[in-house]
Structure 1
Amino acid sequence: MEQEYKDQTSPPRTRYKLYKYLTVALLFIVVFFSVGLIGVETTSSSQFCSSCHEMKPEYYTWKASTHSEVDCVKCHIGSGTEEYAKAKANGLLQVYRKATQTYTAPIRMPKEIPDSACESCHDVSKRDVTASGDIIIPHDKHKNKEIECIQCHSGVAHGKIADRKMTFQTDYEKWDSKTGKTAMADLKFIRPDMDTCIECHKARKVTNECSACHKTGMIPKSHKEANFKTKTHGKQAAEDLKKCNQCHNEMSKVPLEGYGDVSVVASFLNKDNALAKQKNHYNYAKENTFCQDCHNKRPTSHDSNFYKNHGTIANKGQETCKACHDTKKTNTPGGNQVVCSSCHPSSHSQKQGWKERHPISLDGVKGPSAKCYTCHSKPSCEKCHKQ
């Protein structure tokens, strides 16, 4: 019993040293993990990104964007411990590349932002209409067709500054909050543009009707005037066809070429101008299938009496007729087959052998007769063939 008591009390110094070592070890562990956690938290902050000169453009554009309240890591680091560890390891690699000046400029992301990052904040199933109140964008349908968010929203946080060649080494020191706001002020680099929508719809053979994407149909006020179709739309096209083409080019079922920089007024004012050689609004009316829907219909003015007077009308303003008709048959993709030469043929007056090519035998026929008028117009023929 005495011996047992001595074993328990004999080594007080030994037990003191053991407690001391355990305390120091525990303190070291606490400090280590505290520093580690602080380091992880610090390196995960958006402000830390701007500590590298190379990331200043990205930092200041993000700060000026609509996503400035969302930390960089929310979008650029995937969910889960494994993705987080990969990101931190990649961070060390980037530090090495910075120290050795072996990084590539302009800086680009190694991979696109995944839909999961967007969907952690946005419910795409409920995003049918944008904030403008006019554009209809059923995000769920796009999601079902496996269209990724980044295909339309690639500039939302940084304004596509790499594509705009604004992130080279010589530019780093120029970046600050003001520069970031300026870079993000041009909405065409931030919001999806209509060209992106149109190109994708064409590739996927989806309708490009205005009503498919716009609640109001995007109809200008001038188009709602009662006499727009009958009186004014042709005049507006003559003054600024380029403006018309911005919308109506996409409504054509066939590709249109030669109208991107057309200004009909400029072409008439300056005959030496290259624009004078380009197509005008009359060509446009015949080539654009959207226009053809109306231009191929017989106007109400073309009644039974119109035929007798159409020559006089044409002499006063033949250019107006050309919005629907050609003077002769051409390869123009318009669907209207009624041309001047349909009734005023030049072949039998200017070329030999037309009688042999006539579908009905003309042997013995020396002039117009009642038989001719079963197909031809007597008043029209008599303009040349006098009795």
Structure 2
Amino acid sequence: MKDKVINILKLVLEQINKHKKLVGVLFIVFVAVALVGGRKFWHYAESSEFCGSCHEMKVHYDSFMSSKHHNEHVHSCHTCHVGPGLKGFLHAKLSDGAHDSFEHMRKTYLTSPNSGLFIDVAEDSIPIINGNCVNCHTNKEYTKDKTHLEKVSQSKRKGEDGALADFFCTDCHIGVVHPSWSADVYKAYAEKKIPPFGTFSEDDCYACHRHATPKIVKEWTNSPHAKGGVSCLECHGDDHGQIVERRGSVLPSKCGECHATMYNDFAQSRHYTGRIVAEFDGFVSSTKNAVMRKDCEKCHMLGLSKTWDTGPGGSCEGCHPKHLFSRSKASEAKVCEKCHIPFRGPDHALLDMGVKSLHGKLYGRWKEEGNIKLRCQSCHSDPYNHHNFNRNVSLLSD
């Protein structure tokens, strides 16, 4: 057998030597055809049509072709799914390609949460896709608020192991290009204003409220909570029925689980403890338990107990604008002005900080001088108890 193979090889070499020119021409033609054909196949393999030729990917292809992302700037799947440079290309072909091929051969996608209609993107490709989102949308032409991208890049979320992980565009903007059952449901909830009931995950919150309350989601991404990976669930819980019943309110005691020092200071303040407004025959009525008119609640919400609250009540939201929870915003005079101004409800002469009062004149002068460090807290807050504003308010205690 070995001798036969050797003889055949010798015969082939003899024929090549006899017809060198012909073999050379044929070789050149072969190389040319291979280069041209290979180049065309390469470009076809890079096209969206090639991606959609697999029946599991057809639903992705159809949704992409009908989406706003299919335009002169995003003309193929590779614009989003392939990272920059040779590294990005190799990752797409080796990692993504291997993932999709294995899913196709093993048919594991048939039992996935998406009802087995299509193959989900590989987990290690999500950062690449989001990186391409940022690269494109940093262009002012495609982004109304460029600072939003900067804030999102600083935001974090807690992984399954409890460690902080990056927060991605796709955490909120699911279903923008490709189909997603949950995204369609969330959009329906938002459009019909139907509050969903049941328990939900962190991902559900971001994806649904991106449609229902986009301003709140944007405020959260600008907050220190986002940078620290504090999600909706940690403050509001996962029971949406209870969240709706409480109208999204969060008790100070919940805030105090993380901000213990601030909560303890606030719990000792007049804002929280309230004032006794009537007392007779053993009955005590205060600003915490009195049946308040709606006009009164706007100011007295700092200490007012809720109907569903079994604890001491109160609210941090009166000073800390949700969902920003900005310390600098809470220390601005206009936050205090919301309540401590004469034309807000009944005449509260001692609380008058209008522009014609001594308080107003002093603050106006400080503002003109550019002394922005002077706040209401400069006089009314103990430096060691910066959430207890009982300092220098002895007249109110009499």
- TM-score where L is the length of structure 1: 0.40
Q: TM-score, normalised by structure 2?
A: 0.40
- Does 1 or 2 have the higher relative contact order (CA < 8 Å, sep 6+)? 1
